[in-house]
A and B are shown apart, each in its own frame.
Chain A
Amino acid sequence: MYSSPLFKGYRAIVQRDLTSLRRRPFDWLLPLAFFMLVNMLFAIAIGGDRTALANVAPAIIWSAVLLAALLTHDGILRPDYESGFMEQLLLSPHPLPLVALAKSSVHWLTTGVPLMLVAPLVAMMLGLSPRGIQALLLTLPPTTIAMSLLTVFAAALTVGQKNHLLATLLVLPLTIPLLIFAVATIDSAVAGQSLLAPAALLSALAILALTLLPLAIAGVIRIMGGQ
């Protein structure tokens, strides 16, 4: 697949962005610290009641995952926009939806995957049961994939803007289905019920995002890059 000329541009962008992120480790370490901090704030605010903390652990973790994933939206397209690289992309023969997919892949590799590694640890600290942690591991990949695409969509819409809060207003309402199904999966797992239905719906959402959002992102990049 990688040898096809269609994916040459995809691979080049992923490699370029990964290299630049390797040289600026804070860009991807910061969301992790943010994620831990949000969880810590909730744990401290709820206090010493361990059962209460375990009951709300899925809610805390998922809110923190969504916020941490969205936090990095500013670094995805703005450097390209300001350096003129985006115009080069617009002029290049590579299909823009694949460029959008490449940007989303990089975001997922540098935000989604680290979050997937840290979230079970945080879940243990919050006292989530082993079944709950299992379900968390199951739901993290589809949710973070969909979230990465939504984040790139927000980044494209706000690429020339100074206001960083705008992206949260645009995207957080759209993440609510993810939040509901992700929490529902863990809750059913903790209650000992079958988690197949919410997990399947969550995967369906991820596939929907994966197929349709690159087209929307490409449309926005074409509009914003050409202004």
Chain B
Amino acid sequence: MWNWLHQLASPPCFNRFVAMLLPWLAAAWLTTFMIGLWWSLVKAPADYQQGEGYRIIFIHVPAAWLSLFIYVVMASVAAIGLVWKFKLAPVFTAASAPLGAAFTALTLVTGSVWGKPMWGTWWVWDARLTSELILLFLYLGYIALQNTISDVRSRNQAGAILLIVGVVNIPIIHYSVEWWNTLHQPASIMKFDSPSVHPQMLYPLLLMAISFKLFYGTALLLAMQCILWQRQRGGNEYA
């Protein structure tokens, strides 16, 4: 297992791994996405208060979950890479960062689009919106750092330390931002005893969340392959 993880960093080995995994991952993503889309847009009942407009939740919430998920995964992989010197770890984080930033931006955009008819405003400085915006800047900071340091080794390691410092800060930022009282409804899905969402809305939401994660995996593998190819050709663009 250990050796295999180290070997994976060599392009031929990684390409074989991707060729094996990618079709399954892409198929799983497409299937869950299609079923989830149909379920959430057609089959799920309309909300009694928000009408059909609430259906943006099936994009907004999975994107929001994924935006945080990607940052935490990046920081964990960065820490592991820093300790055990996995060559693939910086490739993983470099490929993840634009995806994470994109999902954060998607969360912010869908949130504003949803907020306009429901709250009557595009933007409020509420806890979760603000945390999400700060998260976007954390991603942009990492990407900017990756683009400015020219030496590959120091770029990888400095980026890893920045990610670790950032992930220590994420809960602090989140709770400090929650200091203000807000418009946003409190979390209504992560209550384990009895979710206050109707099952016909909850299941498609969870299916969409799984589908988004599968998409992240698919896109991540492709992006990592690109970076490794660039490195092989001497382009040295990211890794």
Nearest B-chain residue to A213, judged by Cβ: B165
Residue A122 lies at the interface, judged by CB distance under 8 Å to chain B? no
Identify which of B105-113, B135-143, B217-225, B227-235 touches chain A: B135-143
> Which residues of A in the span 177-197 have a Cβ within 8 Å of any Cβ on B?
177, 180-181, 184
Residues of the A chain whose Cβ atoms lie less than 8 Å from the Cβ of B121: none
Residues of the A chain whose Cβ atoms lie less than 8 Å from the Cβ of B145: 157, 166, 170
Residue B177 lies at the interface, judged by CB distance under 8 Å to chain A? yes
Nearest B-chain residue to A225, judged by Cβ: B154
Q: How many A-B residue pairs have CB under 8 A?
A: 71
A157 touches B137 (CB 8 A): no
* Size of B's binding interface in residues, CB under 8 A: 27
> Which residues of B in the span 151-208 have a Cβ within 8 Å of any Cβ on A?
151, 153-154, 157-158, 161-162, 164-166, 168-169, 172-173, 176-177, 179-180
Identify which of A63-71, A96-104, A216-224 touches chain B: A216-224
B176 touches A172 (CB 8 A): no
Nearest B-chain residue to A180, judged by Cβ: B176
B141 touches A170 (CB 8 A): yes
Once bound together, how far apart are the Cα atoms of A103 and B1, in whole Å? 43
Once bound together, how far apart are the Cα atoms of A220 and B173, in whole Å? 23
Residue A153 lies at the interface, judged by CB distance under 8 Å to chain B? yes
Which one of A169, A216, A224 contacts B165 once the chains associate, using CB atoms below 8 Å? A216
Residues of the B chain whose Cβ atoms lie less than 8 Å from the Cβ of A166: 141, 144-145, 148
Residue A176 lies at the interface, judged by CB distance under 8 Å to chain B? yes
Residues of the B chain whose Cβ atoms lie less than 8 Å from the Cβ of A198: 179
* Size of A's binding interface in residues, CB under 8 A: 29
Distance in Å from the Cβ of A194 to the closest Cβ of chain B? 15
Which one of A163, A172, A220 contacts B137 once the chains associate, using CB atoms below 8 Å? A172
Which one of A176, A213, A223 contacts B176 once the chains associate, using CB atoms below 8 Å? A176
Residue A88 lies at the interface, judged by CB distance under 8 Å to chain B? no
Residues of the A chain whose Cβ atoms lie less than 8 Å from the Cβ of B165: 153, 174, 213, 216
Once bound together, how far apart are the Cα atoms of A208 and B229, in whole Å? 41
B158 touches A174 (CB 8 A): no
Nearest B-chain residue to A165, judged by Cβ: B144
Residue A160 lies at the interface, judged by CB distance under 8 Å to chain B? yes
A163 touches B148 (CB 8 A): yes
Residue A117 lies at the interface, judged by CB distance under 8 Å to chain B? no
Nearest B-chain residue to A181, judged by Cβ: B176
Residue A124 lies at the interface, judged by CB distance under 8 Å to chain B? no
Nearest A-chain residue to B130, judged by Cβ: A176
Residues of the A chain whose Cβ atoms lie less than 8 Å from the Cβ of B176: 176-177, 180-181, 201
B141 touches A173 (CB 8 A): yes
B-side residues, CB < 8 A to A, are: 134, 137-138, 140-141, 144-145, 148-149, 151, 153-154, 157-158, 161-162, 164-166, 168-169, 172-173, 176-177, 179-180
Cross-chain pairs A/B with CB under 8 angstroms, 30 sampled: A153-B165, A157-B162, A161-B148, A161-B149, A166-B141, A166-B148, A169-B140, A170-B144, A172-B137, A173-B137, A173-B173, A174-B165, A174-B166, A176-B173, A176-B176, A176-B177, A177-B172, A180-B176, A180-B177, A181-B176, A201-B176, A212-B168, A216-B164, A220-B158, A223-B154, A223-B157, A223-B161, A227-B151, A227-B153, A227-B154
A-side residues, CB < 8 A to B, are: 153, 157-158, 160-161, 163, 166, 169-170, 172-174, 176-177, 180-181, 184, 198, 201, 205, 212-213, 216, 219-220, 223-224, 226-227
Known A-B contacts: A161-B148, A170-B144. Give 17 more (CB < 8 A).
Answer: A158-B148, A166-B145, A169-B137, A170-B141, A170-B145, A170-B162, A173-B137, A173-B141, A173-B169, A174-B173, A198-B179, A216-B164, A219-B161, A220-B158, A220-B161, A224-B158, A227-B151
